[in-house]
Amino acid sequence: MSENNRKLPEAVETPSRFRNTIGKFVVKRNSRCISCGLCAELCPHGVHVRYENYAKGTRPVSHKCIGHECRDKDYYCISKCPQNALSLKINPLLETMGDYRWTAEMLLGHFAMAETGDLPHVNLEYNLGNSGGGFDKIRFRHPDPEKAIDMADEDIDTSIELNKTGDGRPERTISIPCYGGGMSYGSTALPVIIGRARAAKRLNTFTCTGEGGYPPEFLPYKDHVITQVATGLFGVREETIKYSPIVEFKYAQGAKPGLGGHLLGEKVTEAVAAMRETVVGSSLFSPFPFHSVYSVEDHKKHVDWMKEINNDVLVSVKVSTPTDVDMVAIGAYYAGAHIIHIDGSYGGTGAAPDIAKKNIAMPIEYAIPKVHNFLVNEGAREKITLIASGGIRNGFDVAKAIALGADGVVIGTADIVAVECVRCSNCESGRGCARGIASTDPELGYMTTEEYCEQRIVNMYLAWRKQWCTILRSLGMKSIRELVGRSDLLVHLDYLEEKERATYQPAPNHAMIL
Amino acid sequence: MPKKYHISTKPAPPRLYPVGRYATVEFREDCAGSCRECVKKKCVYNIFADNYLHMSQMDEPEYLYTCNSCFRCVQECTKGIFSRVINPEYRTLGDDYWTPAIISRTWYQAHTGSIPVSGAGYRGPFVGEGFDSIWTDMSEIVRPTRDGIHGREYINTMIELTRRPQGLRFNKDGSLKTEVPKILETPFPMLFQLHDQYGIEDECVRLSIAKAAHATGQLMFIKPSEITGELKNLVSCMVPSLELATWEKHKDLLATCKMVQIPYGPGLNEVVIALRAMNKDLAISVKTPLDDKAPLIAIEMADLGVDTVHFAASHQGKEVNVDNPKFLRDAIHAVHLALVDHGARLKVNLLFSGGIAMAEHVVKSIICGADGVVIDASLLLALECRLCGRCMDGLSCNGKLEEVDPEFGMTRIKNLMAAWRNQILEMLGAMGLREVRRLRGEVGRSMWFENLEKENFAPIFGERKVP
């Protein structure tokens, strides 16, 4: 077992918080059922449950059903039922769920991973979205079977190094090539952000405070919490810099590049206002940009300031992806940053103008090779960690981003999808999220528990890790670090001749009503 | 502090129940009856306030305009009898270009005057046709006004519609020799016109638009025959669209207007000369369909000395009367570059109409080389039009446009324009620009799909095989 993987946690089955779990298929039991128990005996996936001391038929656990592909099996409950009491259909609800980037099946796939810690057994397309470009058109080249290695998951190294500068500050290794993106206290419920921190501790990685201060609940996990210093400087204090192994300067965010953070008035509750030292009910629009930074020299002053306050801290610089993102990255490097974090335009947010989310700055798929190659040509690539985020949705996206040139990625949306976000995009309004994720409302903000969030997130990453190990094995790699910048291992469907294109999984392409 | 331009907004809730995205499906035969846990009563957004009663009192199926899609009712119903579908009526809204999402977002903006803000990341396709293949730039540290959102009132969205002298000459005594025409400006780069296909011929529609133009300081293109009733009091904001053969009949009207529009066609030169002779300060706009001859016409018009050329694209933003029509993006850019190559871009202003459906289209049109745009269908949408096209067949209006109170209509259009203008400010602010005029033709402030692919993907993947 590799040294870096020793701390990997256990998966624990963590079912949905909601009574009716949404699945790809709907299995219905009608009143003809005589509760003979045959279906419960037959189904290997646990769709039918029968309790010995309960005579009536129970509602099938539809989301575990593998659907019509079961038809040829001798345990196909629909045809075996002596009373013809069971029916099976595709869930019509799916059409109203998800969007081009996070399709309904990708959401359901991640719910399943977060529940079990394993890849879904239902046939769901959770690796590809329906966006018709970028990651959804990029595939790993068919690997050379002779190169494949036989190695257990535990022996494959998925860790990455966050300090490559050799500046004498601590080396910080995370066991998975992902850490958590900033979600502030105020935008997101306390049990969720603390659950993320607990998951980060168990996975030996990090989570980030976002721009909302440092609730004391973070303290037990402080070695795994990044303090974000954003343009509004909300909740940034000397001690929170001192707690932190890493400080992240948020210059811009991919979902709203060129705009500061938005926290609309209704979400500024008493506790949030106290943490941010602001007025209850008053919308908080962070300024843009840092009013103390006009140049790379000013930026260096920022970096030096943090390094002076905390001698062990690493500095990450988060920027979005304008045309000159490569120049910005090299500037961050020369200013002494350990991590350059580029956030692409399709990234997540708690609130942003729709026009900014869609139009401003370039998608991360373009920015990664742009920055990677520029840093290579400048001779700086080996000395800085390149982290990508913004529209990286699943395990395969992570691997593709790394192959395009990133060392690792930052994940935000997938974490909250793991705790059953359906991306209904109402995080900004009113009391916030109706599902208790992006809300600090006294009622809604406590619909989840820290334990639930922690385990669901851990489970999802464990499932992703299985995917990474499969990819690495097939490529003959023992460490995910070998994959960095190996864009020669990728193909893009639109760049292939038709015949070759047909050998790869086609990009999902169906019309959606948004 | 000098007064800054501002469009005031006021909530203007829709007159008709809008077409929502979802409809409920309930399998009521399994309902537990008067369930204390009924998810309809517990809805966080309280959208079922009037509709959790007995089935006999319910609309079936129930169309949900305000449903926020949180799925809690679906997932928490104790009997699992609750489900949702896409509202079949919502599907039929608009067309491939004017999508249901665009239409309902336009309604929202006309209702609230707010820009659409939401949580979670972008939800749409990676890239699309035309404007959807452009991303705009931003700057990490440069701002036009270093005040975050609180300095946006300093960003100027005004455009000019008059020709500009190509240089100034002075008399010996230092006085100005060059004759400088009176400058005609509009406060934001979206002029108004009536749609030539959609929209019922009703005075209240025209009056709503004219009142909004008047209240915001904007201009509205209109035929003299359409200036009826109360509209006659608002001619100062109108640009009469005249015919070359009959323009002289409307000399009285022109005396009260700042700008006139005439079509491109034979005899145009003489009309321009006559108009100039009549009133040298009258701005002249020449309207012509956007086709493959547009660049040549633009050059011709610049040389002729008209103030503005107005190219009309199709309702879907494409060239008209052409076999393989280009989308506005490329068509605008071609016209702009032709003028630049001819050394005449500064002589003439360019307006484009047709297919301008969202605020981002305005910004992107200007990046491609337009000075401004002319909008039509969006104005109708603000009045609750559904773009169903029944009016084109002479049928009654689904949006009951003939019943619009012009005051209400004006408020809705003002709201929409305020929301659009604020979005333009967001994009200009992110780019670090203080003037919308500085953005004209600034393709360097944008990233085009084909260029991004070429720069970043071609070195990795080789040659692109799919156009």
pLDDT in tens, A478-507: 999 999 999 999 999 999 999 999 999 999
Lowest-confidence segment of A275-279, B152-156, B338-342 by average pLDDT: B152-156
Query: Would you put residue A487 in left (φ > 0), alpha (ψ -120 to 50) or beta?
Result: alpha
Task: Give the model's confidence band at B396: pLDDT under 50 very low, under 70 low, under 90 confident, else very high.
Answer: very high
Query: Do B322 and B253 share a structural domain?
Result: yes
pLDDT in tens, B213-241: 999 999 999 999 999 999 999 999 999 99
For residue B457, is it within any domain? no
**CA of A291: which chain B residue's CA is closest?**
B146
What pLDDT, on a 0 to 100 scale, did the predictor assign at position B55?
47
pLDDT in tens, B158-174: 999 999 888 899 999 99
pLDDT in tens, B53-95: 544 444 555 666 778 889 998 999 888 888 888 988 899 999 9
Q: Which residues of B touch A323 (CB under 8 A)?
A: 137, 444, 447
Strand intervals (E) in B12-133: 22-26, 63-64, 82-86, 117-118
- Judged against a pLDDT cut of 80, whether residue B142 lies above it is answered with no
Give the Cα separation of A445 and A394 in Å (integer).
26
Residues 344-383, chain B: which have Cβ within 8 Å of A?
Answer: 358-360, 363-364
State whether A360 and B76 contact (CB < 8 Å). no
What pLDDT, on a 0 to 100 scale, did the predictor assign at position B53?
53
Query: Do B259 and B405 share a structural domain?
Result: yes
Number of A/B CB contacts below 8 angstroms equals 283
Angle at A468 between CA A193 and CA A455, to 5 degrees: 30
For residue B62, is it within any domain? yes
Give the Cα separation of B465 and B467 in Å (integer).
6
CATH topology of domain A140-492: TIM Barrel (3.20.20)
Residues 149-178, chain B: which have Cβ within 8 Å of A?
Answer: 149-150
User: Which residues make Cβ contacts (< 8 Å) with residue A128, sequence separation at least 6?
Assistant: A106, A135, A136, A396, A505, A507, A508
Mean pLDDT of B354-374: 97
pLDDT in tens, B252-305: 999 999 999 999 999 999 999 999 999 989 999 999 999 999 999 999 999 999
User: Rounded mean pLDDT of chain B?
Assistant: 90
Give yes or no for a contact between A357 and A256, defined as CB atoms under 8 angstroms apart: yes
- Judged against a pLDDT cut of 60, whether residue A3 lies above it is answered with no
- What backbone torsions phi and psi does residue A25 show, to the nearest 5 degrees? -120, 155
Give the Cα separation of A468 and A397 in Å (integer).
10
Interface test with A, best of B71, B105, B138, B427 (most A CBs within 10 A): B138
B426 → closest Cβ in A130, A291, A356:
A356
B427 → closest Cβ in A360, A373, A404:
A360
What pLDDT, on a 0 to 100 scale, did the predictor assign at position B146?
53
Residues 19-48, chain A: which have Cβ within 8 Å of B?
Answer: 19-22
For residue B102, is it within any domain? no
State whether B124 and A351 contact (CB < 8 Å). no
Count of structural domains, chain B: 2
B426 → closest Cβ in A322, A353, A363:
A353
* A293 compared with B205, residue with greater pLDDT: B205
**Rg, C-alpha atoms of chain B:** 25
For residue B346, is it within any domain? yes
- Judged against a pLDDT cut of 50, whether residue A236 lies above it is answered with yes
Query: Do B296 and B423 share a structural domain?
Result: yes
Q: For B240, which DSSP code?
A: E
State whether A285 and B464 contact (CB < 8 Å). no
User: CB-based burial of residue A351 (10 Å sphere; 0-12 exposed, 13-18 middle, 19+ buried)?
Assistant: buried
Query: Do B62 and B157 share a structural domain?
Result: no
Burial A189-213 (b: 16+ CB within 10 A, else e): bbbbbbbbbbbbbbbbbbbbbbbbb
For residue B329, how far is the Cα from the chain centroid?
15
B120 → closest Cβ in A95, A423, A513:
A423
For residue B16, is it within any domain? no
Interface test with A, best of B24, B70, B99, B141 (most A CBs within 10 A): B141
- Judged against a pLDDT cut of 70, whether residue A202 lies above it is answered with yes
Domain extent for B424: 148-451
What pLDDT, on a 0 to 100 scale, did the predictor assign at position B56?
46
- pTM of the shown model: 0.94
Neighbours of B62 (CB within 10 A): 19
Q: What is the CATH number of domain A25-90?
A: 3.30.70.20
Residues 5-44, chain B: which have Cβ within 8 Å of A?
Answer: 21-22, 25, 44
Q: Which residues of A touch B115 (CB under 8 A)?
A: 353-355
Q: Which residues of B touch A132 (CB under 8 A)?
A: 125-127
A322 → closest Cβ in B122, B139, B359:
B139
Query: Do B262 and B386 share a structural domain?
Result: yes
Q: Is A82 helix (H, G, I), strand (E, B) or coil?
A: coil
A18 → closest Cβ in B76, B122, B140:
B76
For residue B412, is it within any domain? yes
State whether A346 and B121 contact (CB < 8 Å). yes
State whether B99 and A514 contact (CB < 8 Å). yes
Residues 56-95, chain A: which have Cβ within 8 Å of B?
Answer: 59, 92-93, 95
What pLDDT, on a 0 to 100 scale, did the predictor assign at position B164?
85
**Owner of token pair 């323009």:** B247
Query: Do B314 and B240 share a structural domain?
Result: yes
Domain boundaries, chain A: 25-90, 140-492
Query: Do B413 and B303 share a structural domain?
Result: yes
Give the Cα separation of A486 and A402 in Å (integer).
8
For residue B152, is it within any domain? yes
- B86: contact with A, CB 8 A cutoff: yes
Task: Give the model's confidence band at B149: pLDDT under 50 very low, under 70 low, under 90 confident, else very high.
Answer: low
